[in-house]
Chain A
Amino acid sequence: MFTTRKQYHPYVSPFDPCHPICTKTYVTPPNLYIPFQPPNLPQFPLHEALKKGTLWKVFYDPYYGPYETAYKGDIQ
C-alpha cells in the first residue's frame, strides 16, 4: 500500500524572523498510485459512498482542517 501524507524538513536559519515550522507536510492522493483502476476493487455500501464522494475504498482520502478538533488536523 501507499501513504497519502508526506513530510519534509526545510532549512531553518538562526536569523529567520518568524518562529520556524520545522516539519512541512504535503498530500500525495491515491490517484498517483493507481495508473488504471483494476476490476473488482472493494466498494463502500451505496449510501455511504454517496456521503464519502466515492464508491471505491482505495480512492477515499479525506482531509481535515486544524479547527476540526474531533480529528487530528492535516496541518499542525
Chain B
Amino acid sequence: MWIYEKKLQYPVRVSTCNPKLAKYLIEQYGGADGELAAALRYLNQRYSIPDKVIGLLTDIGTEEFAHLEMIATMVYKLTKDATPEQLKEAGLDAHYVNHDNALFYNNAAGVPWTAAYIQAKGDPIADLYEDIAAEEKARATYQWIINMSDDPDLNDGLRFLREREIIHAQRFREAVEILKEERDRKKFF
C-alpha cells in the first residue's frame, strides 16, 4: 500500500505564460521515457527479481509517481488559462479538440502512451539494464527540455528532476553490483 502526502516532492513554479512549454513537458508525462512509464516499469518488475533489490524498485517506482505529479502540475499551470487561440499558437490545437484543457498521457508528438514502452523480461540483469537505460534517457530528455525552455523557475524544477534521474541510474547500477555478488563488502542504503 501507499501513504499519500498532499504536497509536491519539490515546489513547482512557472514564471511565464507559455503553453508551448507544456507541449514539450508532456513528453515526460506520457512519453516512452517519461515518469508514468518509469513508475509502472519499476513497480511491475518487483515481482520477479531477487529480494535484495525489490525495495529499491519500490522506492524508485514510488518516487517516479511523485515526479509525474510535478510534471502534471507544470503542464496544468501552463495550460489552465490558455485560450483555444493560444493553444493553437503553441501547436496544441489537436490536443485541444480531443481533450480541451485536460491532461492526457501522450508524448510531445501526441502519440498516446502504450505499455509497449516498458519491458519485463523476467531476467534480473536484463531488467536492471533496461532501468539504467531508462534513467539515462529520462536525464537526456530533461536536458533537451531545459535547452528549449527560457523559463528560469520551470528549469529549476526540471533541474531537480534531472538530478534525481542521475541518482536513480546510480542506484540501479549498484543493484546490478549487488546481484553480481562479487563485492567483498556489501553496504545497503
Interface residues of A (CB under 8 A from B): 27, 29-31, 34-37, 39, 50-54, 59-68, 70, 73-75
A5 to chain B, nearest CB (A): 11
CB contact between A63 and one of B142, B164, B173 (< 8 Å): that residue: B142
Which residues, 163 to 189 on B, are CB-close (under 8 Å) to A?
A: 163-164, 166-167, 169-170, 173-174, 177, 183, 187, 189
- Measured between beta carbons, the chain B residues less than 8 angstroms from A74 are 143, 146-147
A30 CA / B177 CA spacing, docked (Å): 17
CB contact between A60 and one of B10, B148, B163 (< 8 Å): that residue: B163
Q: Are B167 and A54 in contact (CB under 8 A)?
A: yes
Chain B interface SS verdict (over half) = helix
- Measured between beta carbons, the chain A residues less than 8 angstroms from B148 are 65
A53 CA / B10 CA spacing, docked (Å): 9
Q: Are A65 and B166 in contact (CB under 8 A)?
A: no
A35 CA / B187 CA spacing, docked (Å): 13
B149's nearest neighbour on chain A, judged by CB, is A65
B164's nearest neighbour on chain A, judged by CB, is A53
Q: What sequence of 0s and 1s flags, for each residue 55-91 of chain B, a beta carbon within 8 Å of any chain A beta carbon?
A: 0000000000000000000000000000000000000
CB contact between B147 and one of A34, A35, A50, A66 (< 8 Å): that residue: A66
A74 CA / B148 CA spacing, docked (Å): 12
- Measured between beta carbons, the chain B residues less than 8 angstroms from A60 are 163
Q: Are A62 and B163 in contact (CB under 8 A)?
A: yes
- Measured between beta carbons, the chain B residues less than 8 angstroms from A51 are 10, 160
Q: Are A35 and B177 in contact (CB under 8 A)?
A: yes
Interface centre among B136, B166, B189 (most CB of A within 10 A): B166
Q: Are B169 and A61 in contact (CB under 8 A)?
A: no
A63 CA / B149 CA spacing, docked (Å): 13
Q: Are B170 and A34 in contact (CB under 8 A)?
A: yes
Q: Are B152 and A30 in contact (CB under 8 A)?
A: no
Q: A36-B183, A65-B149 are in contact. Are A31 and B143 (CB under 8 A)?
A: no
A67 CA / B10 CA spacing, docked (Å): 22
- Measured between beta carbons, the chain A residues less than 8 angstroms from B174 are 35-37
- Measured between beta carbons, the chain A residues less than 8 angstroms from B155 are 64-65, 68
